[in-house]
Structure 1
Amino acid sequence: MSGTESARAASEAAGTTESFALITAPFDGVVTEKMVEPGNMAAPGTPLMRLEDTRGFRLDVRVDESHIGQISPGAIVSVSLDSGTGGATTTVSGTVAEIGRAVDADARAFLVKITLPDAAGLRSGTFGRAHFSARARRALTVPAGALVHRGQMTSVFVVEKGIARLRLVNASGSEILAGLSEGDVVIVAAPPTVIDGRPVTAGGR
C-alpha cells in the first residue's frame, strides 16, 4: 500500500470514529434532561438525554368509560392550563387526536390524547383540564340504594306482579346500561327480608 493510500485509509478511519461521537436528533427540539456526563461510557441502548419537540404539545387525560361514547377523534375541546402565576389559567382550544382502545381496569377510564396549539409560555409538564361538550342523550338511571353488589355481580330488585325479582344488570355508576327497561319498578334500599321470589307490598315491606 502506497503512502497516499495509507493516508486515505487513516483519514477514513478517523472520520468513521468521529461520526460515532456525533449525536443527531430525529427532530428539532430542546434538551430537558441530561442522563450522562462527559467522560461516561455510553453503552448501546443507554439513554443519553431527554429531547422534547417544541413544535406542539399534547394533553393526556382519562375519561370515564360511561362518557367515552360522547367523544370522537377530531372534536374540538376547551383546555384550561395552569399558568403557575397566582393560580391563573390559560384557556386554549385543543383537538382530540386519539382515543385509547383499552379501558384502564382500575380507573374504568380511557386515555384520550389532545393536541394543543403553540401558545406563548406553554411548558412541558403543565397541569391542564379538558372540558368536553357532551351530546344530549337519554339514559336509564336508578338511585344508588337500588343497586345490590355481590362479589363481581351487580343486581337490582324489581317488582313483578307483587313478587320481588333479583335481576342482574350492567351498571356504570347509577346508569343502567343493560338489564332494566323504562317503567320497571325497583326496590330502593331493600331490607334483608326482601329476597328473590318473595311477595312484597308498597314500600318494600
Structure 2
Amino acid sequence: MSRRFNALATAALALASVIVSAPANAAEALATWTVASSNFQGLGSHDGTVEAVRQTVVAAQVAGAVVALPVKAGDRVKAGQLLARLDARAAEQQAGAAAAQVEAARAAQQVATLEVQRQRQLFASRFISQAALDQAEAQYKTATAQANAQLAAAQAARTESGYFAVKAPYDGIVTELNVMPGDMAMPGRPLLTLFDPSSLRVAVAVPETSAAKLRDRLASPVNVEIAGQRVTAARWEVLPAADTLTHTVIVRVDLPPGTVATPGSFARAWLPGGAGGDPRTFIPSGALVQRAELKAVYVVGADGRALLRQIRVGPASGDQVEVLTGLKPGERVALDPQAASRRP
C-alpha cells in the first residue's frame, strides 16, 4: 500500500513541475511583432459624408392652406402615397364650372352639326345658295373649335385641382417637415424632404493633385466604413471639376444595395494611391483577435507579460491589416494570440 502511495506522490510532483515550467517555455517561444510606421502607398483614408443619390425637396405647385399632413419625419412612404393635402375647394369649384362650360359647348356643337347637315341637303336640292352653305359650315367649325377649347380648359382645371394633393414621387423616407397643418403653402415653398434609402453614396474631398492618379484606378474596389460597418463598393467616380476655394476634387463612391446609412452621417473611404505618404501602422492579420465586435491584440510588455488591448483597424491589405488607433511604434504584439492568452 505504501509503495502505491509513494508512486502516486512521485507522479503528482512530476506533473506539478511540468505545469510550473510550461509558462516559462511558452514565454521563451512566444513570437512577437514590433510595431512600426511606414509610408505605405496602397490605400489612403479619407473622411467623407453619406449622400442620397435621390433626395427630393417636395414643394407645392399651387397656393393653398395645408389641411392635412399624414406623414412625419422618419416615416417610410410608397410612390404615390399622400404626403400633404392643400385646401382645394376653390379649384374644385373652378373645375366644376369648366365641366359645365364643356357641356354647353358640346350642346352648341350638336346644334351646329344638325344645322350643317340640313343645309347640305338643301344645297343638294338647289334650295339654298353656296354662300348660305358656307356660312353653316363656318358656324359648325366654330362650334367644334369652341367645344375642343372648353374641353382642354376643363382638363387643365382638373389637373390643377390634383396639385392640391401632394404625393410621393418614389419610395423613400421622410427626413424633414417644413410646414404644419394650417400653414400657407406657396408655389416653390418646401413642404418636406425625402430620400431613397436604396441608393446611397459617399462623397469625399481629395487633393486636386491626387485626382489624376485616382482616375487611373477606377477599376479597383473601394472599402468604406459607416457607423461601425465596413462595405466594399465596386463603382466610384472622380468628378471633373475642382473647388476653387479648397482646390479639392469630389470623389463619389456608390454604396452597394442594402447598406444602412443616413444622409449626412460620417463615413471613411480607403481610396487607392495612398494618403500622400502619411505614416501608417500595419500588423500581421494573424495577430488580430476578433470576438464579436471586439478587435484587439496581445501587447507584450517589457516584463514579458501579454495584455489584451482593444484597437481600431482599417481594411486589410494582403496578409496585413492597418491599425488606426490603439498601438504606438515600438510596442510588441504577439503573433500567436492563443499562445499569448495562456501566459500568466
Cα deviation for residue 66 of structure 1 reads 1.9
Name 2:223's counterpart in structure 1: 78
How far apart in 2 are the matches of 1:126 and 1:118?
17
1:30-179 counterparts in 2 under 5 A?
A: 30-72=173-215, 73=218, 75-81=220-226, 83=227, 89-119=228-258, 121-134=260-273
Task: Name which one, 1 or 2, has greater alpha-carbon Rg.
Answer: 2
Aligned-residue offset at 1:20: 2.2
The structural deviation recorded for 1:125 is 2.2
Distance 2:212 2:98 in 1: 66
Q: Give the length in aligned residue pairs.
A: 125
RMSD: 3.0
Counterpart residue number, 2:99: 9
For 1:34-75, what per-residue CA distance to the aligned partner results, in whole angstroms no more than 9, with x for missing partners?
111122121111111111011121111001122111213454
Preserved contact between residue 79 and residue 93 of structure 1 (Cα < 8 Å)? yes
SS at match of 2:272: coil
Which structure 2 segments of 5+ residues have no match? 1-95, 101-153, 275-344
More helix per residue: 2
> 1:27 is matched with which residue?
170
TM-fit CA distance, 1:106: 2.7
Q: Partner letter of residue 50 of structure 1?
A: T
The one-letter code matched in structure 2 to 1:28 is D
Contact 2:222 2:269 (8 Å CA) reproduced = yes
> Residues 120 and 63 of structure 1: is their aligned pair in 2 closer, same or farther, counting only changes over 3 Å?
closer
Give the SS at the match of 1:71: helix
Work out the percentage of aligned pairs sharing the same amino acid: 33
Q: Aligned to 1:107, what secondary structure does the other structure show?
A: coil
Structure 1: gaps of 5 or more residues: 1-5, 84-88, 136-205
- TM-score, normalised by the number of residues in structure 1: 0.51
Distance 1:77 1:17 in 2: 47
TM-score (norm 2): 0.32
Q: Which has the higher contact order (CA 8 A, sep 6+)?
A: 2
Instruction: Say whether the 8 Å CA contact 1:61–1:111 is kept in structure 2.
Output: yes
- Give the deviation of 1:122 after TM superposition: 2.3
